Amino acid sequence: MPIIKSAIKRAKQTIKRNARNVGIKRDIKTAVKAFMDKPSAATLSAAQSEIDTAVKKNLLKKNTAARRKANLSKIAKAAGVKLSTGKKAAVKAPAAKPAVAKAVPAKKVAAKPAAAKKPVAKTATAKKPATTKAPAKKTTK
């Protein structure tokens, strides 16, 4: 067992991270097994989503995830699964909600008087000419 305080903390962090990583890897394996049992668009997207989550958490490298997803897609194509485009056409867009005005506390409004702000006038800034180096002088011997 570690004696130093920072080493004790590091050991605790390692245990937590290990548990989290094992959980994510288990989720990947179950999702892939579910896809292998019943290849469908839903199980394929679930498996790919779990792989993407592992990449986001730096558990899998990007190329490893790409390879695994490509293999899943290959199996899906061989099984005759139609891949979804990612957008659900059957779902209607929700009605636009009216914008809700945020309530501003009276304290903050009173703290800033309206006269304190000065209008900023836009001034035209002239471009500076490009500086050129003077040519080096030739010295004759």
pLDDT value of position 46: 95
User: What's the pLDDT tens digit per position in 38-48?
Assistant: 999 999 999 99
Question: Quick one: 46 exposed, middle or buried, by C-beta within 10 A (0-12, 13-18, 19+)?
Answer: middle
For residue 5, give every residue at least 6 positions away whose Cβ sits within 8 Å of its Cβ, in sequence order, or none: none
42 lies in a domain?
yes
pLDDT value of position 83: 72
Domain count, the chain: 1
State whether residue 123 is helix, strand or coil. coil
28 lies in a domain?
yes
Closest CA to 75 of 48, 56, 49: 48
How many CB atoms within 10 Å of residue 44?
Answer: 23
110 lies in a domain?
no
46 lies in a domain?
yes
pLDDT value of position 70: 95
Task: Using alpha carbons, list the distances in angstroms from residue 39 to 29, 35, 57, 74.
Answer: 15, 5, 26, 11
92 lies in a domain?
no
User: What's the pLDDT tens digit per position in 27-38?
Assistant: 999 999 999 999
117 lies in a domain?
no
* pTM score: 0.56
pLDDT value of position 82: 80
Locate 127 and state its tokens. 């471009």
Contact 48, 71 (CB under 8 A): no
What's the CATH number where 65 sits?
A: 1.20.58.110
User: What's the pLDDT tens digit per position in 101-121?
Assistant: 665 555 555 555 555 556 666
44 lies in a domain?
yes
User: What's the pLDDT tens digit per position in 53-102?
Assistant: 999 999 999 999 999 999 999 999 999 888 766 555 555 555 666 666 66
How many CB atoms within 10 Å of residue 103?
Answer: 6
35 lies in a domain?
yes
pLDDT value of position 81: 84
Range of the domain at 74: 5-79
The conformation of residue 71, written as its DSSP 8-state character, comes to: H
